[in-house]
Structure 1
Amino acid sequence: MNELWIHFWTRVFEVMTDRVDGPFRFRLVLQPTIATVIAIRSGLKDARLGRPPYFWALMTDPVHRAEMAKDGWRSVGKVFILAMVLDIVFQLIVVHTVYPAGVVFVAFVLAIIPYLILRGTVTRIANRFMKLRSRHLH
Structure 2
Amino acid sequence: MTIMEPARPREQRKQDVLDRLTKDDDLWAATASPDGRPCLVPLSFLWDRGTLLMCTRRTNATARNLTPAGEVRVSLGHTRDVVLIEGTAELVEGAELATESADAFAAKLGGWDPRNGTAWVYLRITPRTVKAWREENELADRELMRDGAWLV
| TM-score normalized by the length of structure 1 | 0.25
Question: Counting strand residues as a fraction of each chain, which structure ranks higher?
Answer: 2
Question: Per residue, is there more helix in 1 or in 2?
Answer: 1
The higher relative CO (CA closer than 8 Å, separation ≥ 6) is in 1
TM-score (norm 2): 0.24
